[in-house]
Structure 1
């Protein structure tokens, strides 16, 4: 039974199950403000509905569960001087993610295809995260002059070893094998079985045995598993420049060389902010992390690199961003620490 709809997202109730269906396949199910607001309202309603005991989130199209927030819309709003609209999108997204993280009803994320940025935010904080064979996780924000957000300031530092710092500073994609090893995914299942999983969840039985009944053998681990020792050794350095020095010193390693090259292509300011996030985040709750991330957003939106990164990747697509400052050596460490300090103006609460 359809219980709600907004452009880009639909809501159904089947038995004990509330279902969120992301439906912008041509845009890789990227989140718009209307979708965010509709989801927030629907989750609020389901929280107060006794006959809905669990919630599933899925996406249509096969290519992507959700490729993130609509950063092009944020860019366009900024270019048009629509500052209020720009921050409404950030506030709405962070409020939704914080609400999902504290949802009293178990959320089952059925993740088929790409899951990045805001898509991670709406799927990662629930107890059940099912990866299909095409699952591809990434937090690629440093490549557009931004930061890992949607609560990953808290999530990534808690991954084994220094793998979270690796993901934050490279923005590289990983598949289901790595995700299961790291705990980003809790189960693996075939995408063709997702409709049957939904029907079984609707019956109201215990969730874990249902998911286990559809589980397939975990696929082989990818680079994060294979190169785990190298990642831990290199990414344990005290700053980003130290990480690069360690990577450069690894003899005859294509992985180390490629990783260093990728990091050097990212925004130096974003890298510095993300490293500090990883240093602080292990002591933060998801809500505290989101609060800090919004604080960083207000700093970044007044700067240069986000707009330049979006221009290079999504607008002109020349993939030649002109970062300012251009090197890690030029980044002011005092300014990086100041970005984490509580702003003088009133901040929204995401608790």
Structure 2
């Protein structure tokens, strides 16, 4: 099936499922404008297709998607053509996924960051394997956590979302399941069988009951308590002050403070404002 994505993204109708596969493994499946447009077109067509009950999005290679194609965005901007259309189309796609009328299953078996989060974590079912790693690392490149992160991260509770936004640190599938970012976890070796059953039945809830494995949280309780203590402060400056006071005697505080000091100061302030405001905003 061709929705205009060329060799960067593949579309298949398998049984009751519309299956999307990101096929840029050499670029960690970074999203191009063409891929975004093709996925949007496919979702539009499949939403009205009575032969498709469920959407599955997956990827080739060791990354689900490392984000948007930042190199292309940078080069476009340097050429005097601000990539406004790229971001507008990307954000519209994120909103479409959030309100999609059919089950939308993201099967995440590797790194997922930035734009990859936007096409996966707004769907109804976020399924991660033990190979998955999640991050929103934008504050490290002078940007901000976009693609709806200001909706996703505040919902995590326990100041965990603020911690992820201000550090850009990665978490694994156990923490993702515990925090609510992931809805389900399965074994990587079960992906093919999971997809086959999903294509046969079109019913993700019943299929996931047969494949679900309980992933253990990776972050220990003392660290979670430290995250709450430091990242629930009423301002960014107070977060940093809290970490500074604890750093001499607390390895977590020292490492986290060192990480934050490598991030863009402007981006940190924008991210703080986003996550704080997002607590009271709908998608």
Q: In which range does the TM-score fall when normalised by the shorter chain?
A: over 0.9
CA separation in 1, counterparts of 2:122 and 2:214?
24
| Cα distance in 2, alignment partners of residues 275 and 240 from structure 1 | 6
| Aligned partners of 2:138 and 2:145 also within 8 Å | yes
In structure 2, C-alpha distance between the alignment counterparts of 1:32 and 1:260, rounded to whole Å: 34
Aligned equivalents of 2:2, 2:76: Cα separation in 1: 31
Check whether the contact 1:7–1:34 (CA below 8 A) recurs between aligned residues.
no
- Deviation per CA, 1:315-346, whole angstroms, max 9, x where unpaired? xxxxxxxxxxxxxxxxxxxxxxxxxxxxxxxx
Q: What residue ranges of structure 2 are gaps of 5+ in the alignment? A: none
| 1:71 lines up with 2:44 in the alignment | no
Note the alpha carbon deviations across 1:269-293, whole angstroms, 9 max, x for none: 110011011111012222xxxxxxx
Residue matched to 2:33: 33
Tell me which residue corresponds to 1:18. Answer: 18
Q: Are 1:247 and 1:260, in contact at CA under 8 Å, matched by a contact in 2?
A: yes
Contact 1:187 1:212 in 2 (8 A): no
Q: Is the Cα contact below 8 Å between 2:64 and 2:112 reproduced in 1?
A: yes
Contact map agreement 2:53 2:202 (CA 8 A) in 1: no
- On the 8 A contact 1:33/1:89 being kept in 2, the answer is yes
- 1:3 deviates by 5.5
Q: Which residue in the other structure is 1:222 paired with? A: 219
Give the whole-Å Cα distance in 2 for the aligned partners of 1:230 and 1:247: 9
SS in 2 for 1:196: helix
Of the candidates 225, 243, 250, which is equivalent to residue 239 of structure 2?
243
Uncovered stretches (5+) of structure 1, i.e. residues with no partner: 287-351
Match of 1:82 in 2: 81
Give the Cα–Cα distance (whole angstroms) in 2 for the partners of residues 160 and 221 of structure 1. 17
What are the within-5 Å matches in structure 2 for residues 43-192 of structure 1? Answer: 43-61=43-61, 63-83=62-82, 86-192=83-189
| Normalised TM-score (structure 2) | 0.96
Aligned counterparts of 2:41 and 2:6: Cα–Cα separation in 1: 11
TM-superposed CA distance for 1:205, in Å, is 4.9
